[in-house]
Amino acid sequence: MTLTSPTYDPLGTCLSTHAALLNHSCQPNAAVVFSGASLSLRSLMAIAKGDEILIPYVDITEPTSRRQSALQSRYFFHCTCSECCQSSTCGQPDLQCPLQSTPSTLTASELEEKGYRALERSAKATYIEEETTGLKETMAIFASHKDLHPYWRQPWPSVRHQMKLIAISQQDWPSALGHALKAYFYIEPTLYPARWHPVRVVQTYVLLKLVMEVSHWIHAPSEDARTQQILMKYEVDWPVVTWELLQEVEADVWKSHGVDNGLAKEITGLKGSGIPAGPYEAAVVEQERRKLKQIADEIVA
């Protein structure tokens, strides 16, 4: 089992005789979370007494064929869970009957292969420009085939995640925010239906940190003219957005990670970091959410 940080950054390998007893399912009812060297199981749904606790051994957001291939090559078994038997992923049917391709369109399988090849090239890229170019081209291809390949279907979310990380490393805050918001509104609710799923909570926390960074540059006199030019037209009330996102992750992290987890303590500690205190009226919050959704729709593909 891969040892990770609370935010799922890989750190090494964990050997646990108790964790080794847990079986796999592509529809798991629990997730593994680490805090230092401590391992805990967090429920993703109500688990009745006597029900088996099941965890994912592989990335269950991948299509059935890739999940089966990974399980066979790494764990030497063929999964027969309901998701695999129905050829579905995260409750959605896999692409079974690709459309006929034309000179200007691709089949579903061709789209998927292009995306996975782009991710492989990105992992091997020597220069950031080389990595960015390939991923941008792939993003444009996916965007032109949204009717066939929606936002949440892999590998588009993984390509978008890499684009977000590149944007953060380059301090391209509008692009990073756009990708994070696209995932928040259109991807994560489908891939991780439970709002307290550890991965979803981590990504919402990353969004919160991005909003805090953007809020700084929006109000810093002429220090980041590009960020100001792109985002100021949306007239977002950043203190309201920051407070509401903090409330969301604080409400969910105790279920996703546990109150004693390092991430939970870090999130609780943000309340003393100068974030303007709420609460705000529901109508005000909803208005700001509409503005954020507009940013997600307009800034990135």
Tokens of 144: 């032109």
User: What would the 3-class secondary structure string for 54-84 be?
Assistant: EECCCCCCCCHHHHHHHHHHHHCCCCCCHHH
Rounded distance, CA 255 to CA 11, Å? 23
User: What would the 3-class secondary structure string for 218-242 be?
Assistant: HHCCCCCHHHHHHHHHHCCCHHHHH
Per-residue pLDDT reduced to its tens digit, 70-111? 999 999 999 999 899 988 888 888 875 444 444 446 777 888
Per-residue pLDDT reduced to its tens digit, 106-153? 777 888 888 999 899 888 888 888 888 889 999 999 998 888 789 999
pTM: 0.91
Residue 276 has pLDDT above 90, yes or no: no
Rounded distance, CA 149 to CA 89, Å? 13
